[in-house]
Chains A and B, each alone.
Chain A
């Protein structure tokens, strides 16, 4: 193990580079991923290291980009698509939902689509409503897609390597605010994969179970630390893959803590995190609950442009802290 503290952008670039080195059929395509190094600098110098044959700058045409990737994947390549903002996947949704996700099943399993679609998502950059969405439930509700939401650089590296290996189309949702900050944990050297569909228990406690995705894992972690100093111990679970979803650690934890809080950035209404609540409500662990399940999620509004409003539209550390405190205090 190393003690290398990378940012998520660096970790993702490292994973792609490892995959490039391991497999000649892996290549990257997208808008400005080449000479410019990616809108958020994720591909960086890869164009210069691997050349224009493997790092392809494309026109501004998301449907065409993903369509080309699907075709390449069907032909034995392993494309990595970068869509500049996850909001723009709307343009490419036919290729994602109707082609990539379905072809394997429409053709009796004869073909598969080993494509990874990476895309930055989320609010907090002042980019307003059309560049700030969290669209996790769009993808999580399409059978045939796997959906990964890494919360830290080390996970991003291992999960992306596993996603590239995977014979199915994988949507890889990176949060913009995490690109530039180092993770809490060092990023290991080497090419170790983190299997898809396995949740991570980030920390263990006995008073409350928090399930959070993406950037909300980080915010919740800070809350956990703060509350721990007051004697409130919290289990924090990061599903890492939201489709398929690994609920087992959640059940096991709730059976110990009796309290469940779920946190996501996206709007509450029909959000992905509701799936966690639904599965809990239908499980045999339901009888362990000593408190109503608490949901923290974004407001049901387009992300505002004004910075204060943008902040208010999604859960912040103070919101998570207050909710956690309240649930533990009120329900005993």
Chain B
């Protein structure tokens, strides 16, 4: 079975749908079936027409979901690589698909891009209005595809003016080929360094995002705490431990579930897959899930069901050798964690809290509890 005939749509462009709503009906040589929405969202585009014979894996419609995924190339290359989010149909099902726009395409093979470029989007708010489930028509800010700059020069030596120039132009000196004595980056090395046009586009997009993020987070009183932790932990342990801590404080974790967004960088931007109630499964199970999800996100696939429902966010800076950062809260979240590199055996854990929900004392308790449980 390789195709199915689209019989009819149950929705039209602009409709708001809830997870489980019937979107369209499809007929195959074995069965007729109704295809349901895999998540809450808004119908953006109907790709096919009733009567069309559509290949398996091709998009039928595009819907926008409430999502924390930011900065994906919605209009560019990535849009062509829509994700198949078939909601586990019956074994015989022809698996016609719902096309989700929020999809990442192939991952950068090289180390992460320039720190400022990567960090910046994290400082901004998610791209949806906090009042879910109403979704604005164009909630996803398109960002250009970025090719991760090639690091040619890990231990940077540069003359002072080269550093000034690089900082002004947002150039990562690690990507600049040094021509000076003792492999020192000269001023002209920086001057002639080409900035990837995609980076420029993305920087522009980030600026827009930051503006939007500031607009959306205005009025949220926030406080940040920082503690050094003598602990080695992986993402699964951290996610699990943090979810447990939050679950123990329903006054702070005000949502009905605990959804931990883990920020994963891809060359398209930051993906934020959400691990729902991760403390209710074993750490081993969670570890497998985190690994597969992270790999998938880096490789351009985030399951649509994991794109929403975050109630807290974790950003791991250690891969950038950064010691700390203070992310703004996402408007619908009360807490945000950042893990920074301190030494081989210690990490800096920073917690930002919403002072409308909890106070400084709560913040300190949360951070203590997390570190104690790691």
Contact = CB atoms under 8 A, between A and B. Distances in A.
Given A331-B186, A332-B187, A332-B188, A290 B181 contact: no
Report whether over half of chain A's contact residues are helix, strand or loop; otherwise say mixed. Answer: loop
Contacts of B181: 330
Contacts of B162: 290
A258 B160 CA distance: 9
Contacts of A291: 159
Interface string B158-193: 011111100000000000000011000011100000
Most chain B beta-carbon contacts within 10 A, residue among A258, A288, A290, A292: A290
Report whether over half of chain B's contact residues are helix, strand or loop; otherwise say mixed. Answer: helix
Given A330-B180, A330-B181, A331-B180, A287 B160 contact: yes
A72 interface: no
Given A258-B187, A331-B186, A288 B180 contact: no
A332 B184 CA distance: 11
A291 B182 CA distance: 12
Contacts of A286: 160
Contacts of A287: 160-161, 163-164
A328 to B, nearest CB: 12
Interface string A293-332: 0000000000000000000000000000000000000111
A258 B180 CA distance: 15
A286 B164 CA distance: 10
B180 A289 contact: no
Contact size range, B: 10 to 19
B160 A289 contact: yes
Interface in B19-69: none
Interface residues of A, number: 11
Given A330-B180, A330-B181, A331-B180, A258 B161 contact: yes
A290 B162 CA distance: 7
A86 to B, nearest CB: 36
A331 B160 CA distance: 12
Contacts of A289: 159-161
Interface in A84-128: none
A61 B159 CA distance: 52
A290 B186 contact: yes
Interface in B141-172: 159-164
Nearest to B182: A292
A185 B238 CA distance: 77
Interface string A7-33: 000000000000000000000000000
- 6 closest pairs, A vs B, by CB? A290-B187, A287-B164, A332-B188, A289-B160, A290-B161, A287-B160
Interface of B: 159-164, 180-181, 186-188
26 contacts: A258-B161, A258-B187, A286-B160, A287-B160, A287-B161, A287-B164, A288-B160, A288-B161, A288-B164, A289-B160, A290-B159, A290-B160, A290-B161, A290-B162, A290-B187, A290-B188, A291-B159, A292-B159, A330-B180, A330-B181, A331-B159, A331-B180, A331-B186, A331-B187, A332-B186, A332-B188
Given A288-B164, A290-B188, A330-B181, 5 more contacts: A287-B164, A289-B159, A290-B159, A290-B160, A330-B180
